[in-house]
């Protein structure tokens, strides 16, 4: 059967401090309204049921497996948003049935209970943004559909009720109209940090719909103006960074000496870098091996359970640490289809995929995922962290006393890092810095 229509799911995940206004931002008529959930009740931690705690562990396990898969393919520094990808696939699963839905939900580690998964995502949508007044965090969703099609009622109601996603219909005969709509939404959803996201070539002639999700996070390192975590005047320029397998590159190191939570996870050190407000943190997992196969051994050892145990073990103890951390910026674009197939999502890519719950058309019944693409970027500097990730799931119609001992934590060789909400353990971003 002839392949005809493309269904595009878009995820934008971003952390940012500022973004310049761009003159080429499309000014679309009646832009999609971004409606963020608000809470009047102060929240000190994310409150999860026992089942939802298991979802966190499963989601983090998926994050580590997918991070390893991405790095083994890219063999370069990477950044991506596992939470963003999980949200995009969770929304997608509401339009699927049978084995297609089971594979998507099961690969994410969420069992087969779609309603329970929707409630979990809804809880994160409501609680994460309200958690920390010193952190700006927004989770946003929207749905754009080719006006020749209509969303199935159950899918539309779930999108609106559980994901706060308005549904909009557009004339998709001109790809530029669709691209401008999506890029303008992405620009506003990420405070201008992601732009442009898509090109006209990304919108196929048979475009059906776009499901949009944005995760935006803005935070500075813990500290104050008088005593910041990092002082730019102390940054060491063009110092050696020792690559796995031998050789070196030159990087700039941010330097500080202060009390940090620090511990061990196997043959790797782990260090917590708190953000202002104390609810979110970046964790650096640094192999002991320098110049060898440290990352390979780290990925072979680390699991979600071991990482969670390590984070818990350092939660109440601090040590004086002399830290050297690269100042870096990384940007990637990934094609994720092969990774997702390897992890267990297969039928959704086949001609017999079951997306019958997603859209209605009097003649067109069958759809499948054609490709999954994510573009991501991160900047780690003295003032804090700035990062963004955009994901597109393309679906086609088918066929002690005295001075304390100083701990040296020199991140001068490849390491893994994550950005985590501490009370729940939810992993927002994950990456590898390997000096390249």
Q: What is the pTM of this model?
A: 0.87
Mean pLDDT on 18-44? 65
* Whether residue 81 has pLDDT greater than 80: yes
pLDDT score at 404: 59
Give the integer Cα–Cα distance in Å for 228 and 41. Answer: 31
Give the integer Cα–Cα distance in Å for 93 and 304. Answer: 24
Mean pLDDT on 223-237? 85
pLDDT tens digits along 244-290: 988 999 999 999 999 999 999 999 999 999 999 899 999 999 999 99
pLDDT tens digits along 364-407: 778 877 666 667 777 778 888 766 666 666 556 665 445 556 78
More confident residue, 124 or 36: 124
Spatial CB neighbours of 370, under 8 Å, sequence gap ≥ 6: 3, 6, 349, 394, 395, 396
* Whether residue 53 has pLDDT greater than 90: yes
Judge contact between 325 and 253, C-beta under 8 A: yes
Structural domains of the chain sorted by starting position, each given as residue range(s) with its CATH number in brackets? 6-220+329-397 (3.30.497.10), 232-327+402-433 (2.30.39.10)
* Whether residue 20 has pLDDT greater than 60: no
More confident residue, 248 or 165: 248
Spatial CB neighbours of 369, under 8 Å, sequence gap ≥ 6: 337, 348, 349, 353, 393, 394, 395, 396
pLDDT tens digits along 191-225: 887 787 877 887 777 778 877 777 788 889 997 76
* Whether residue 6 has pLDDT greater than 70: no
pLDDT score at 275: 92
Alpha helices in 75-207 (DSSP H): 82-93, 98-107, 114-127, 153-163, 175-189
Mean pLDDT on 1-18? 50
């Amino acid at each position: 059967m002839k392949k005809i229509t493309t269904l595009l799911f878009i995820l934008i995940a971003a952390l940012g401090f500022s973004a310049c206004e761009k003159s080429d931002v499309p000014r679309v008529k009646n832009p999609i309204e971004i409606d963020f959930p608000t809470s009047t009740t102060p929240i000190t931690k994310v409150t999860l049921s026992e089942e939802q705690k298991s979802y966190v562990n499963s989601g983090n396990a998926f994050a580590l497996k997918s991070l390893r898969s991405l790095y083994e393919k890219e063999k370069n520094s990477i950044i991506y948003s596992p939470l963003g990808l999980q949200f995009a696939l969770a929304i997608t699963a509401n339009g699927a049935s049978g084995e297609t839905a089971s594979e998507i939900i099961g690969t994410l580690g969420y069992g087969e209970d779609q309603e329970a998964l929707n409630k979990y995502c809804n809880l994160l949508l409501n609680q994460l943004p309200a958690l920390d007044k010193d952190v700006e965090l927004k989770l946003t969703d929207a749905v754009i559909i080719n006006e020749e099609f209509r969303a199935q009622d159950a899918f539309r109601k779930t999108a609106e009720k559980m994901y706060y996603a308005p549904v909009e219909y557009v004339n998709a005969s001109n790809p530029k109209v669709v691209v401008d709509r999506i890029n303008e939404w992405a620009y506003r959803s990420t405070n201008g940090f992601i732009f442009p996201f898509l090109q006209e070539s990304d919108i196929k002639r048979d475009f059906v719909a776009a499901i949009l999700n944005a995760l935006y996070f803005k935070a500075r390192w813990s500290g104050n103006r008088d005593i910041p975590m990092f002082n730019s005047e102390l940054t060491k320029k063009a110092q050696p960074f020792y690559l796995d397998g031998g050789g070196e590159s030159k990087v700039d190191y941010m330097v500080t000496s202060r009390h940090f939570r620090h511990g061990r996870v196997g043959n790797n050190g782990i260090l917590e870098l708190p953000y202002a407000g104390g609810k979110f943190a970046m964790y650096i997992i640094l192999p002991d091996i320098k110049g060898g196969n440290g990352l390979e051994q780290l990925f072979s050892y680390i699991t979600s359970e071991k990482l969670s145990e390590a984070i818990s073990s350092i939660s109440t103890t601090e040590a004086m640490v002399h830290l050297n951390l690269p100042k870096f910026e990384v940007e990637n674009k990934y094609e994720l289809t092969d990774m997702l197939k390897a992890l267990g999502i297969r039928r959704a890519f086949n001609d017999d995929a079951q997306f019958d719950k997603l859209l209605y058309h009097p003649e067109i019944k069958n759809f499948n995922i054609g490709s999954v693409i994510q573009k991501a970027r991160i900047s780690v500097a003295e003032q804090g962290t700035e990062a963004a990730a955009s994901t597109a799931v393309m679906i086609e119609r088918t066929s002690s006393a005295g001075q304390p001992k100083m701990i040296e934590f020199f991140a001068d060789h490849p390491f893994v890092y994550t950005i985590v909400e501490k009370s729940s353990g939810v992993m927002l971003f994950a990456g590898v810095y390997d000096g390249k």
